[in-house]
Amino acid sequence: MTTLLSKLPKFSYGIARQVRSVMENLFSETPVGRRKKWNERVAIFIFALMTLLIVLPLLLIVGYLFYKANPVLSLDFLLKNPIHGMRAGGIWAPFLGTIYLVFISLVIATPIGVLAAIYLNEYAGDTWFTRIIHLAVVNLAGVPSIVHALFGLGAFVLFARMGRSILAASFTLAIMTLPVIIASTKESLASVPMAFREACWNVGASRWQTIRHIVLPNSISGILTGIILQVSRAAGETAPIMFTGAVFFKAIQEGNPFAYGLFDQCMALSMHLFTISTQVPDVPEALPYGTAIVLLGTVLLVNALAIGLRIYLRSRKKW
């Protein structure tokens, strides 16, 4: 533009001069325009910086863990029990314990949570009763895990006479994850357009047929993602299992994936990490770091699974 403008003679008169001044006003940068541009650059820089700041700690943590845990990392570490008062050996017992707890708690929480969400979103109307239930679900999601632990101790260990066992601990974890599963399932059901349901009802499909053939197939990816993300919470919490089924130390048969029974007590990774880092003296430094890596790895693996599943199911989504 400037080259075009400079071709116009400086001392021209009449129309040429007017055109020149108008164009200069149109295309030259005004002070306001310059400030806007500058502000935008600053804003973009800050956003990018913040994004980097999120990723950085994760990379640092993982890198640091691997560096510290290096001496113990091997397949034996995963498949051998802790020995010498947990000062040596592997983490087989807590590793298997965590898998038991997470798996059983999901088996308990998923059907209850999904069915409750289907009822709330598809069948129940908007009445004071369902509002109270909704409020209760939201509040339950905000209850600290230690309170869940006390509830689990009272309800499952003592009242239901399960004793301190894998079953009682799994029930406690299930209660803890339930509200979030309900909320996320409800959210994914609600994302299916109402017009689809109406179209189904109009051709004489019942509510259940509509849910079964249209609503569920189109919300299943969101529902599964919500459930699987709860795995990381169930695996990471120490408090809810501490009083209800997890123990300080317990040796089990190595290499046997069915070494625990439902009414046994078990070790768990999160609690094992806590004990060997704070309760037991003279533990080699690499052991807790190795434990942390296995915990983190298990959770990341499950999350990766969730992401993969979501991508797969989304690719089959049909609208």
- The nearest distance, CB 67 to another protein, in angstroms, is 49
Determine if 196 is a binding residue for another protein (CB under 8 A): yes
> 237 — phi, psi (to 5°)?
-75, 135
- The nearest distance, CB 193 to another protein, in angstroms, is 8
What DSSP string runs through 201-213? HHTT--HHHHIII
| Residue 217 in tokens | 């197939």
Determine if 312 is a binding residue for another protein (CB under 8 A): no
Write each residue from 120 to 149 as x if it is in contact with another protein (CB under 8 A), else as -, in one continuous string. -----xx-----------------------
Determine if 199 is a binding residue for another protein (CB under 8 A): yes
> 284 — phi, psi (to 5°)?
-55, 140
- The nearest distance, CB 118 to another protein, in angstroms, is 16
Site for another protein (CB under 8 A): which residue of 54, 159, 203, 278?
A: 203
- The nearest distance, CB 319 to another protein, in angstroms, is 5
- The nearest distance, CB 121 to another protein, in angstroms, is 14
Q: Which helix (H) or strand (E) holds 22?
A: helix 14-27
- The nearest distance, CB 315 to another protein, in angstroms, is 13
Site for another protein (CB under 8 A): which residue of 24, 76, 198, 285?
A: 198
Q: Which helix (H) or strand (E) holds 83?
A: strand 82-83
Determine if 205 is a binding residue for another protein (CB under 8 A): yes
Q: State the DSSP code for 89.
A: E
Determine if 292 is a binding residue for another protein (CB under 8 A): no
Q: Which is nearer to another protein, 46 or 132 (CB)?
A: 132
Determine if 214 is a binding residue for another protein (CB under 8 A): yes
What DSSP string runs through 158-213? IIT---SSHHHHHHHHHHHHHHHHHHHHHHHHHTS-HHHHHHHHHTT--HHHHIII
> 82 — phi, psi (to 5°)?
-65, 145
Q: Compute the chain's Rg from CA coordinates.
A: 29
- Residues of this chain that bind another protein (CB under 8 A): 125-126, 195-196, 198-206, 209, 213-214, 217-218, 317-319
